[in-house]
Structure 1
Amino acid sequence: MKRRPRRSTPATLVAVVLLAICALAAVVAIQTILGQTPWVGYPSVAGWLHATRWSDVVPVLAGAAAILLGLLLLAAAVLPGKLVVLPLAGETDSGASRRSYRGTLRAAVSDVDGVAGAALKVKRRKVIARVRTARTNTEGLPDAVRTAIERRLSQIAPATVPAVKVRVTSTRSTS
């Protein structure tokens, strides 16, 4: 089970922009049908467009912006995002959410003696643990934290076991 994130933000932005353009076109069309002065007059827009040359700055910048926006939207649609559900090993199609995965590993780290606090980052192929301690001598603490994380990972049984990296910072000075 490999559930990827939805691409709802780019899709929502495109939908809102298109809705605004369509609403403006509908209002202008209704105003023209009713004989009122439209917000955007066709003669003024057509006159400005006919006076503009392809080599002018405005069409070049508008084209560049349209190309850049198109490439960004294409990249958002094609490139895979971070997994929302991390696959677990085994015969069944099962997974664990990234949030619960991180919470379970953080709980394992907080059980280690000497750990005052921990922040974990779960990446594609590694887990980075930043541990705070009140100890002045941090010798052996990174190994204990790494062992606790690896033990919990063996209990979870992910499909691909990530590498574990531990950084320990002491809140007290050694002198």
Structure 2
Amino acid sequence: MKKFTKTVRFENDHFGAIMGYEDYVIGDNMISRVYYVEGLGHNLFSVAKFCDSDLEVAFRKHSCYVCDTAGVELIKGSCGSNLYTILVEDMLKFSPICLLSIAFKNKSWLWHLRLNHLNFGTINDLARKNLVRGLPRLKFEKDYLCFACQIRKSKNIPTNPKLKTPT
């Protein structure tokens, strides 16, 4: 991800810091400069970014479509509560995508997940030695055990041996 320090303004006049951007590929088409906004729990695509990538965007009463110049539908979305959302199933046809996006109140847990549930001591070492690009230099602290780590750390439950039937 390339660093980029600007802000975006939301409908409620709040601002979000743009921490970086990457190019996003859908099939043979590339959408350039898709922004990563700090604290935002969803990925947002700008209609202008689709158009800059020579894609066509159409909005209907209950749906939206993104098509390439040949008219091939790349993405289909639906509208609910004044928000157009993209169906994951349609996007999976073209490239792998993030299936879960969670906003965290602190960066410790965000980086714990980004680094595949790496323990906090190791994350602190990586940050202190500046070994991971983009990893902030702060004290990463664990205030609870995450569910995935709890399952991984649990011992195997002993099973009853099979009963032998007399012959």
The TM-score bracket by the shorter chain reads under 0.3
Instruction: Kindly name which structure, 1 or 2, has the bigger radius of gyration based on alpha carbons.
Output: 1
Using the size of structure 2 for normalisation, the TM-score is 0.25
Which structure's residues are more often strand, by fraction? 2
Which structure's residues are more often helix, by fraction? 1
